[in-house]
Amino acid sequence: MEFAPVASSRFCGICPITHASASTDSIERALGITPPKDGVVLKHLCNMGNKLHSHPLHQLLILPDFAKDPNAALAATVRIQKMRKIGQNIVDITGGEAIHAPNIRIGGMKTNISEAAKRKILESLKAYEPIMKENNEFLLKIFQASDVPEKLGVHNNELMATDLHYGNADLFEQEYFYRFSEVTPRSFYPKPEVGEEACGTAPLIGGKAVEGGPKARMTRFAGFGAKDCGKFDPKGAMAINIARVLEIPLTLQKATELATQLDTTKPTMTKPPEAGGDGQRLGVGPQEAPRGVNVHVAKVKEGKIAYYNCLVATTWNILTIGKACEGQHYKWAEHVVRAYDPCVSCSTHLIVVDEDGKLVAEDTI
Amino acid sequence: MAFGKYKEVMALKAKDAKVTGVAQDGGVVTSILCYALEQGVIDGALLAAKSDTPWLPKPVVATTKEEIIAAAGTKYTISPNMSAIKSAAREYALDKIAIVGTPCQIYAARKMQLYPFGARHIADKIALTVGIFCTENFSYAGLKTVIEDHCKVPIESVTKMEIGKGKFSVKGAKDVAIPIKETHKYEQDGCHVCSDLTAEFADISTGSIGTPDGWSTCFTRTTKGSDLMKKALAAGLFEKKEMAEFAAPMGLAMLEKLETGKKDKAKKTVADRTALGLFTTPGIVY
């Protein structure tokens, strides 16, 4: 069973922390074990560090859509990289590695951090704040100045969020899981040939596609709405970009709270029973990943995985992304996709240079 | 060139009584680390500290002067200090790490700096390397056999061990010295293909060979090591003597003799292994 978080964290190089956390949380629930308090705090802090890097990274990838002044874009890029560095450093310290953190274990976190490391994290979070403020002001301004249609990406699909920061398995089970179903893309999409091109599955809540991510979290838990969106529709794609900006200060605040409350002298691991698990109990681990909800579910029998399923953030969101692209000129479709997930290949920015490094072509695909 | 590249060589003796009371010889490693920590050159060090098992060292990340002093003294079995470097860079969040190690461990640190595969954001945090002279090392079982079967004393009664003047000696409940040649069969096999006695790739390297009891021979090899040592000397940390004060067979003549012996032995071992058709790392001897 120890291999499940190691393997599933390799789904993604940007959000490995949330996958490892969802995996360990689901297995812990299947085994019926609870990590020590400081193990939970440290794991949450690790996830906040990941979000403090991942949200700015997302902003870097949408920057060419909005920042038309190259000097301003360069300054924003520098700020973003500084923010990412701090976020990644927090994951390095708490998780053991920023990319695929080996300290995230079934039963908590492999090791606590030193008091000096805790102080460093708190200092770095202080340093993060002014950079973030400047960057957020800049981004909100260029979003409002853009010519993106005000109602781009508006849809009426349900928003799915379990927590503002980490993920709440109890809430997920009470509000979503009993309505959950999973169908093949071929049966979900109106045209079979579209579904046949898709890979993965179509996870549904109440028989319909949902949206997870910053807009869903902020709407449900932080009162996000029309007042925050300026000219844009709070149900649209630009609202996701805005919610992401507004979520960063809350993540920063949460990270500071967690780091402050961490007792570096206490244990962080509850050793899981080597032959634990009855093979019947289904453990559910929903995780509020930067771009959506990661849901890992597991059954464990005598220390081995008996059943495992992962519904990653974009597997949920991709169904809504398609819907949100409808109703506007096709040139805006890529803006919709990028608002949800820059990892999707169709949202990639492309440049072609010749042997001398001269720009031959530039496009956003 | 004998002793590898270096900038200065000198004989040193720490002045701080807290250090000399616990140090193996001149207290160079302990004193320079405490000084580097005070000056902010390092924010922690990887050291071989005492464990619950007598004379079995364990790698520790020391971040205070007290922890550095507590780890003083030579342990004649290997302490895998490099294994703690990731912990130092991660859970301890150190940015300026000092590594104290045998010549082979200094190799590991330098290799990590040259090609840091699997060591992301770790090798760039190595701020200082302090190498310890090493003729050879024992496995723990070997060391225990030497002490309990050859010296005939319980290992837990030993308070200090030394190698010098052709003897392996233990001090404690009973002081015993045996000819060093009795211990050769317990040496780690890997030591026999090692050409480096004086930690030629460290910033600073030091050991007892060549200087009288209570003193250490010390090389500064890099600009970083040399600058740090100059400041430490200016701050009055050490008594200093020129190596020329120790005439042959002591002094550098003795060190060169032993170093040449180690290099020749390594060459011979490699030749023997090659003749048997065994693999030997290319360029391991020089």
Under an 8 A CB cutoff, do B91 and A98 touch? no
- B210-225 average pLDDT score: 94
Q: Say if residues A169 and A150 touch (Cβ distance below 8 Å).
A: no
**B28: pLDDT strictly greater than 90:** yes
Q: Say if residues A286 and A336 touch (Cβ distance below 8 Å).
A: no
Backbone phi, psi, residue A245, to 5°: -60, -45
Can you give the pLDDT at residue B30? Answer: 94
State which residue of chain B sits closest to A115, comparing Cα positions.
B92
Among A146, A107, A305, smallest CA distance to A241 is for: A146
Contact residues on chain B for A103, CB-CB shorter than 8 A: 90
Tell me: the pLDDT tens digits for B137-148?
999 999 999 999
Can you give the pLDDT at residue A11? Answer: 85
CB atoms within 10 A of CB B189: 9
Contact residues on chain A for B92, CB-CB shorter than 8 A: 113-114, 116-117
All domains of chain B, ordered by start, with CATH?
8-137+192-275 (no CATH), 138-186 (3.10.450.750)
Can you give the pLDDT at residue A348? Answer: 55
What percent of chain B clears pLDDT 70, i.e. is strictly above it? Answer: 99
- B181-201 average pLDDT score: 92
Contact residues for B82 (Cβ-Cβ < 8 A; gap 6+): B46, B59, B99, B101, B105, B108, B109, B112
**What's the rounded Cα separation, in Å, for the pair A90 and B286?**
43
Contact residues on chain B for A120, CB-CB shorter than 8 A: 93
Can you give the pLDDT at residue A343? Answer: 67
CA distance B92 to chain A (A): 5
Contact residues on chain A for B121, CB-CB shorter than 8 A: 92, 98
Under an 8 A CB cutoff, do B120 and A112 touch? no
Most A-contacting residue of B90, B92, B96 (CB-CB within 10 A), to test interface: B90
Of A92, A99, A116, the CB nearest to B90: A92
**What's the rounded Cα separation, in Å, for the pair A20 and A10?**
9
**Confidence bin at B172 (pLDDT 50/70/90):** confident
Count CB pairs under 8 A between chains A and B.
35
CA distance B84 to chain A (A): 12
Q: Look at A154 and B246; give whichever has higher pLDDT.
A: A154
> Which tokens belong to A31?
């085994």
Write the CA distances from B86 to A256, B111, B125, integer angstroms.
Answer: 24, 15, 10
**Confidence bin at B234 (pLDDT 50/70/90):** very high
Under an 8 A CB cutoff, do B91 and A120 touch? no
What is the value of ipTM here, to two decimals? 0.78
State which residue of chain A sits closest to B89, comparing Cα positions.
A93
Under an 8 A CB cutoff, do A96 and B121 touch? no
CATH topology of domain A3-364: Cytochrome-c3 Hydrogenase; chain B (1.10.645)
Among B46, B75, B77, smallest CA distance to B63 is for: B46
Under an 8 A CB cutoff, do A114 and B86 touch? no
> Strand A210-211 and strand A158-159: pairing?
parallel
Can you give the pLDDT at residue A198? Answer: 78
- B256-283 average pLDDT score: 91
**Average pLDDT score, chain B:** 91
Backbone phi, psi, residue B79, to 5°: -115, 115
Q: Domain residue spans in chain A? A: 3-364
> CB pairs under 8 A, 24+ apart, for A98-103?
A98/A53, A98/B120, A98/B121, A99/A13, A99/A16, A99/B120, A100/A6, A100/A9, A100/A10, A100/A13, A100/A16, A100/A20, A101/A9, A101/A16, A101/A17, A101/A20, A101/A46, A102/A6, A103/A46, A103/B90
Tell me: the pLDDT tens digits for B247-268?
878 899 999 999 999 999 999 9
**B286: pLDDT strictly greater than 80:** no
**What's the rounded Cα separation, in Å, for the pair A114 and A91?**
14
- All residue ranges of chain A with pLDDT < 50 are 346-347, 365
Most B-contacting residue of A84, A93, A109, A114 (CB-CB within 10 A), to test interface: A114
